[in-house]
Amino acid sequence: MNILLTGGAGFIGTHLTKKLLDEGHIVLAVDNFGSNYDPALKRRNVAPFEGRPGYYLFEGDIRESSFLHLLFGTYAIDVVVHLAGLAGVRPSLQQPASYFDTNVTGTVTLLQTMRDFKVSKIVFASSSSVYGERNEIPFRETDRIEELASPYAISKRTGEMLLQNYHQLFGLNAYCLRFFTVYGPNQRPDMAISRFIQRLFDGERIQLFGNGQSLRDYTYVNDIVAGIVRAIERVNGFEIINLGGARPVALIDLVRKLEQYTGRKARLDYRPEQPGDVSQTAADLTKAAHLLGYQPRVSLEEGLQRMVNWFQAEHTSLLEEK
């Protein structure tokens, strides 16, 4: 199968690339190597795939119609996996225009190109942030979406609505996967777990916003990848599907686990709650199990230990100096 993968040099994208190549698929990876975080990290992410049979990397922007038309006109594409976009709640409060330009305009341009070239299947990376602040857990795909808390959440919800519209108007087959706080090796350095591990080893203070009791449904990247692969295989019609870890944990408890696995004591710096943050996330996985056979297999404890081990292997000389 020929799979066009946008955001192919990112954290989830490179984990997915390895899985798809291992299964014998052709991966047409697209990335603009933008500066939302260090482009050198993204280039390091894709370096292991250079020269692998079936892997092709294209540097370009999904907002550029001419770039996409050249790509779609050159290769026969069976399915698109759309991971590209700006991520993160707090940065979207400072750069809302950039988020809408990349996440909405980019998605529209991609969908129109798919229509032009009669490519009818897409798997889209959405986010648990679309649920906003709510008291009832777990979050179900049938929940009403009313009070989105950030421009990032709005941009992702808009993406879902666009795919639904293209399904209704043009018969597009689209699965929107709502990811719940994905973590693992090569995670973006601005994400909480990456920052916490770095600061534990550096002996720097860890900032906790609020009282440390906010709940997050953390999902190990291998489980997310397994869900995406099943979606690629089964995408038909239009569906919104949660992919989570199904075991929310309080932020302070996450830090305590990282203390245990790093052997370092955290220096905590409590800060006021941040605009755009929500108090809890928790995924109902009933639909994912039914449609995708999805079941998270990596516990938070195992996943955090793997991530700490990876960090230590990547930063051996730095840690020795400390």
Omega before 138 within 30 of 0, i.e. cis: yes
Measured CA to CA, the distance from residue 79 to residue 60 in angstroms comes to 19
Type of residue found at 79 = V
Q: How are beta strands 249-250 and 205-209 bridged, if at all?
A: unpaired
Q: Are 255 and 208 in contact (CB under 8 A)?
A: yes
Show Cβ contacts of residue 290 under 8 Å, excluding neighbours closer than 6 positions.
none
Q: Are 149 and 278 in contact (CB under 8 A)?
A: yes
The DSSP element (H or E) to which 123 belongs, if any, is: strand 121-127
The DSSP element (H or E) to which 177 belongs, if any, is: strand 173-179
CA gyration radius, the chain:
19
Measured CA to CA, the distance from residue 8 to residue 31 in angstroms comes to 6
Q: Are 137 and 248 in contact (CB under 8 A)?
A: yes
The distance of Cα 140 from the centroid of its chain, to the nearest Å, equals 19
Residue 117: how many CA atoms within 13 Å on its side-chain side? Answer: 21
Token pair in block for residue 122: 């897409």
Give yes or no: 261 in active site. Answer: no
Measured CA to CA, the distance from residue 124 to residue 140 in angstroms comes to 18
What are 173's strand-pairing partners? 121
Token pair in block for residue 263: 């052997």
3-state helix, strand, coil in the chain (%, to 5): 45, 20, 35
The conformation of residue 272, written as its DSSP 8-state character, comes to P
Q: 152, 166, 175, 294: which is the annotated catalytic residue?
A: 152
Catalytic residue annotation: 152
